Amino acid sequence: MNPAALVPLDGSGPLDLVFGLPAHPLIVHLPIVVLPVAALALIAIVFVPRFRPAFGWVVIAGLAVGAGGSLLAKESGESLAARVGWPGDHAQLGDRLPLLAFALLAAAVLWFFLMRRDLAHVRQATAGQRTFALTRIVAAVACLLAVATIALTVAVGHSGAVSVWSARLQESTPVASAPALNLAEVAQHNSADDCWSVVQGQVYDLTSWIDQHPGGDQVILGMCGLDATNAFLDMHGSSPGPQQTLAGFLIGPLVP
């Protein structure tokens, strides 16, 4: 997700708020739960034929719901990001999940159709080896996509938890023992390999954030060794998302 595309800035949209609360935390549970379960069930019915009559259509329906839910989660996530700030890796992984989920759904539907066709041919004694080979290939592709979907869903969920809780846990960690830092010391850390900056009276080590900053590395490089409070506020204002991200790089308070 491109942070420059997060418009309007108030996050307004059909998937923005539900009863005054962000819709994304509600919607995201749908694909996070349904997609892995449906993907595992698909692998099960591929390898255990006796499960197919009872669960075949249920699995296809589950994959359809999970794929649709991943798309809704992506859209609601963009609305939330417009309000609280760009969530980095979580947004990028979330953009990929619908593509993979719909690819899995397509492969599963194709395999299910071919499998039922093969069964009909067997009953009529008209099946050929090429027919079975195509079905096996599609089944293998579907299983690989199922494994990839499970892995990506877990990664999306984990990155979302990190984006929400990591900065808060950092903030809750006592910083009383942090070293006293002044501008002279901060000024010595003014390179891409060692970048400290001051924002609103706090010193941050932004070295690892240089290459990750969605606005480009030059923005962070321009803050190295300096009090960048004005530049930060001009760019982000009081938006809580950037503030939370910044908190993850806190060293300690600035002293005169």
Q: How does pLDDT run across 135-187, given as a tens digit for each residue?
A: 999 999 999 999 999 999 999 988 888 877 766 666 555 554 545 688 888 99
> Which tens digits make up the pLDDT trace of 179-209?
568 888 899 999 989 999 999 888 999 998 8
- Taking CB atoms within 8 Å and a gap of at least 24, the contacts of 209-215 are 209/245, 209/249, 212/88, 214/3, 214/86, 214/88, 215/3
For 196, list phi and psi in degrees, rounded to 5: -110, 155
| pLDDT above 70: residue 7 | no
Q: What is the pLDDT of residue 8?
A: 44
pLDDT class of 37 with cuts at 50, 70, 90: very high
Can you give the pLDDT at residue 127?
Answer: 52
Of 45-49, 63-67, 168-172, 225-229, minimum mean pLDDT range: 168-172
Say whether pLDDT at 3 is over 50: no
Q: What burial letters (b/e) apply to 119-136, b meaning 16+ CB within 10 Å? A: eeeeeeeebeeeeeeebe
Tell me how crowded residue 241 is: count the other CB atoms within 10 A of its CB.
Answer: 20
Mean of pLDDT over the chain: 84
At the top level of CATH, the class of 183-253 is alpha beta
Q: What is the DSSP letter of 192?
A: T
Tokens standing for residue 69: 């839910």
- At 114, the amino acid letter reads L
Q: State how far the Cα of 186 lies from the Cα of 86, in Å rounded to an integer.
A: 27
pLDDT tens readout for residues 84-113: 666 778 888 889 999 999 999 999 999 999
Q: What is the pTM of this model?
A: 0.62
pLDDT at 61 over 60: yes
Domain chopping of the chain, boundaries: 3-172, 183-253
| Burial degree of 161 (CB within 10 A; 0-12, 13-18, 19+) | exposed
83: closest CA among 160, 17, 180? 17
Higher pLDDT, 170 or 251: 251
